[in-house]
Amino acid sequence: MKHGRSNRWRYSFRTSAVLKAKGVKRGDTVAVMIGNCPEMPAIWLGATRIGAVCPLINTNQTGNTLLHSINIAKCDVVIYSDEFETAFQDISKEINPSIKLFKFVRRPLNTAPNAVKPVTSEDDFTSMLESTNPAPWSKSDGDGFNGKLLYIYTSGTTGLPKAAVISSSRMVFMASGVHYLGGLRSNDIIYCPMPLYHSAGGCITMGQPFIFGCTVALRTKFSASKYFPDCIKYNATAAHYIGEMCRYVLATPPSATDTQHKVRTVYGNGMRPAIWPDFVKRFNIKKVVEFYGATEGNANIVNINNKQGAIGFVSRIIPAVYPIAILKVDPETGDPIRNSKGLCQLAQPNEPGVFIGKIKPNNPSRAFLGYVDKAASDKKVVRDVFTFGDSAFISGDILTADELGYLYFMDRTGDTFRWRGENVSTTEVESAISRVADQRDAVVYGVEIPNTDGRAGMCGIVDPQGTLDLDKLAKDITKDLPKYARPVFIRIMSSVDMTGTFKMRKVDLQKEGYDPTLVKDKLFYSDPKTGMYVPLGNEEFEKIKSGQIRL
């Protein structure tokens, strides 16, 4: 898991030499699809040194999604790990034949002059590294501090992934912000089970050794039961998390290893307020550094003073000096609500609104690089915000700020829906249901009922053993959720589709709705008279559609 600096640089310089010999030049695109290992960032570092831009492809991708990621980034070269060879064989007929494919086999490099070197194929990248002398130390041939460095793909929760542009300056700002504001130290050993193809692991955590000389202990794949035992094993003093990881770790049985580690601080994004106090108490965590920022965005915020549930802070005294803001927004469309002059309006304390980052093109920290796809980038820019002619990156995330200025994540625009005249936050409902359902995965979305205004809440709950007590669930959620926020429909699932960054995909679930002819899982609806969940079959479905059963 840990890897010496000399090995990292050896891979990096050899990669530069190999790719240069293969004709890669400044401005070319060299994609990397390799799992969590120290060689992965060393390889993209070597490619970017000679001026290439490196898309980091999600290692879970196959078929059309993989082909899309290669094509949208306009790749000239793809370096992939041998464990993904089948995925590339499956798209071999569709992939552009001009793209050079190099297969990486992870093994110790044997660079002795007379050594017998195994060659599995002509495209064996590891053999090329072994037979090529390292490039000399030199300045990068890239476009400098503000030039393109990486393409990081969005999670694809709402469709095909988009390639977000990461510049050298953005990586430095992201990593430095967490390092300094999060109280990290150059002698920290950071435990990272995060995928390195994502901005959190690949930029923020890998920026710690690259920029500050920290040590990173990598895990190939996240394991809830191994999280703190691994921290003990590698003497970690800091650890990274994302999404639902903390809930999964908290759901493991109590163990002596819970407090035997040396972890001083954990940092990441997505720790739900409902589990925050239990997590820090059980695992004796001194500091939680919750941060927020979209991969493609130009604004990041960090909770630096352990305020439970908060993702950052903006002073109520001088808000104008901050490059971020929360705008009043239509929760259904995600569009900012404008005043009589046609300008956007700031959300009031505790009023949900959309998070924006003000764009200043000549300021590296405020520039919006967006996606490789310009049309997709344009959709993320709102104009005439506070003055005519200005612009801002619109995140699509709904946040609130309290009276003091602490910021809290609420939901994604499009995920929030209206029911019974009230706005329902899927994130809040998911958190409440997961808590009363013994930390089971819960995914919430809105579905339409004919001739009824708004969208009714539906919740998919993962219960592979079939042990969930729905009567108890129905009673328990009345304590935490107002009537309008309680799910009208329940779907019992054996699993839920997750992204590599532990976000639950809900697009297909929403399309299937509560139609028993489309859904093979068990379905239930809330009986209006009793409030209990009862089975939903074809007969009940037709009665709901016709209005005989009124919900």
119, 121, 126, 129 alpha-carbon torsion, rounded to 10°: 80
pLDDT level of residue 334 (50, 70, 90 thresholds): confident
pLDDT level of residue 3 (50, 70, 90 thresholds): very low
Q: What is the pLDDT of residue 1?
A: 43
pLDDT level of residue 157 (50, 70, 90 thresholds): very low
CATH number at residue 90: 3.40.50.980
Residue 65 domain flag: yes
Query: Of 142, 174, 204, at which residue does a domain stop?
Result: 142
Residue 216 domain flag: no
Per-residue model confidence as pLDDT tens digits over 211-270: 999 999 999 999 999 999 999 999 999 999 986 799 889 999 999 999 999 999 999 998
Which domain, by its residues, includes 101?
1-142
Query: Of 109, 142, 175, at which residue does a domain stop?
Result: 142
Residue 26 domain flag: yes
Residue 251 domain flag: no
Closest CA to 442 of 490, 380, 376, 389: 490
Residues 6+ apart with CB under 8 A from 340: none
Q: Quick check: 542 pLDDT over 80?
A: yes
Higher local confidence (pLDDT), 504 or 150: 150
**Contact present, 262 and 213 (Cβ < 8 Å):** no
Q: In Å, how far from its chain's centre is CA 282?
A: 25
Residue 315 domain flag: no
Residue 101 domain flag: yes
Task: Report how many domains make up the chain.
Answer: 2
**Contact present, 384 and 327 (Cβ < 8 Å):** no
Per-residue model confidence as pLDDT tens digits over 115-140: 666 666 779 999 999 989 999 888 88
The whole-angstrom separation of Cα 148 and Cα 28 is 11
Per-residue model confidence as pLDDT tens digits over 339-376: 999 999 999 999 999 999 999 878 877 888 889 988 88
Query: Of 110, 142, 174, at which residue does a domain stop?
Result: 142
CATH number at residue 448: 3.30.300.30
Q: How do beta strands 30-33 and 100-104 pair? A: unpaired
**Contact present, 35 and 87 (Cβ < 8 Å):** no
pLDDT level of residue 425 (50, 70, 90 thresholds): confident
The whole-angstrom separation of Cα 44 and Cα 61 is 19
Residue 135 domain flag: yes
Q: What is the pLDDT of residue 53?
A: 97
Residue 327 domain flag: no
